[in-house]
Amino acid sequence: MIRNLLFKIILFFLFSIMLMGLNAQQIVSNQIFYRTYQQNMWEEGEAYTIDFNFDLFNITQSGNNSLGDISSFLGGQFGALINIDWWLLFASHIAYNGFNGGEVDIQYPVKIDLEFPDNQEFNQGDIVTIHSHYDVLDGWLMNTRFPVEGIFEFGFDFGFGVDANATICFFDCFDLPIMNYEIPAESHNIIDINTFTGIAHYPCIVNNQLQICETQVLPIVFENLAGIGLSGTISIPYVETEAYIDPNTKILHAYGDSAYMNLELNIIQFLMALSGPGSGVYEVLSNLQGQIELGAGINLNYNLLDIIFSVKNYLVQDFKFDPTIWTKVSFPVAVEYTETDPQNNHEVVREGFASTIFFAVDND
């Protein structure tokens, strides 16, 4: 009987120690539903408007090239020498105007825990540590709405000139002009889409002629109609994002992209279709490839210029919501305090002397 009583006393004593250990720390928890809606997508304050023009590329070149050779033999000269002077301008540009607005909605429900010693576990003058931590609860979201009103333009600049002549020698020499063509530099707008008016302009074939048509249907699809040299699809940029949360950092992310343009353009073929048979530009372009008989049994096969380029444009958006959550503790009298960051080896964030202390949750 005495042995059983002693065992019960020891067991009760150990259980009491365990309870004292469990009650040594207090945890205060609060659930808070942070949320904000219809925030400006671009920046705080005045609404941002996309308004810029930029070159996809800009090639401006010129040069002088010589082909062939003339040799002396038995008192005469034999061979051919061709001199070519040329210049080229080829650029492509994109313009965005408008697209103001755009909104972001955030929901960020959290549970904040403050852990601190029980009142009986410290004495006056002791250092007391308050641990803070928060978890993101179910119900978080990040929704984005891309602006739908704006103007988009895409085009290219082109100009080309070539002056070629030959010196032909068969005992004696003579000069022979080969070609002298020039296409003045000019800007060509291929596409413009205006969602303010709901109208888009694009190249099309009407009565076997290349013209500029209107449409209210997007995307616009080109299938190299009647050999105009333009293929692909184009639309207005509109980005839809998908949201996720990083469980380690508690950061909300939203990512999306819009593949709004995928075009292939044969510049020479397009300009020939645009200018039409009988025009000076058409005649020059049709003579950029061919064969010339120089005499004395010499033929020249040439291809002066052939340009095909592809454009694939994406508009990418990558949002991140990385908040700092603040809390406060109050004391009857002012105390000295130090705020530290446990994630950075308890680096000191701030120090002070106050009765009400504001600090970032997840710090101590």
Model-level pTM? 0.71
- The per-residue pLDDT for range 101-111, each reduced to its tens digit, is 788 999 999 99
- The per-residue pLDDT for range 252-296, each reduced to its tens digit, is 999 999 998 898 888 888 888 887 777 778 788 877 776 766 555
Residue 293: half-sphere exposure toward Cβ, Cα within 13 Å: 3
Among all chains, which residue has been given the structure tokens 């949201």?
243
Among 189, 179, 178, which residue's Cα sits nearest to residue 152? 189
Instruction: Report CA-CA distances (Å) from 65 to 82, 164, 169, 324.
Output: 8, 9, 19, 65
Position 1 scores a pLDDT of 38
Position 144 scores a pLDDT of 93
String of DSSP letters for 97-135: EE----EEEEEEEEEEEEEEE-GGG--TT-----EEEEE
Position 15 scores a pLDDT of 31
Q: What number of other Cβ atoms are within 10 A of residue 250's Cβ?
A: 18
Query: For the chain, what is the mean pLDDT?
Result: 80
What are the two backbone dihedrals, phi and then psi, of residue 308, each rounded to the nearest 5 degrees?
A: -130, 125
- The per-residue pLDDT for range 9-67, each reduced to its tens digit, is 333 333 333 333 444 668 888 898 999 998 888 766 555 667 778 888 888 888 887 87
Confidence class for position 114, pLDDT limits 50, 70, 90: confident
Q: What number of other Cβ atoms are within 10 A of residue 55's Cβ?
A: 12
Position 7 scores a pLDDT of 32
Q: What is the arithmetic mean of pLDDT over 330-343?
A: 85
Identify the weakest region by mean pLDDT among 128-142, 297-311, 331-345: 297-311
Position 46 scores a pLDDT of 57
- The per-residue pLDDT for range 148-171, each reduced to its tens digit, is 888 889 888 888 888 888 888 888
Position 225 scores a pLDDT of 63
How many whole angstroms separate alpha carbon 197 and alpha carbon 218?
14
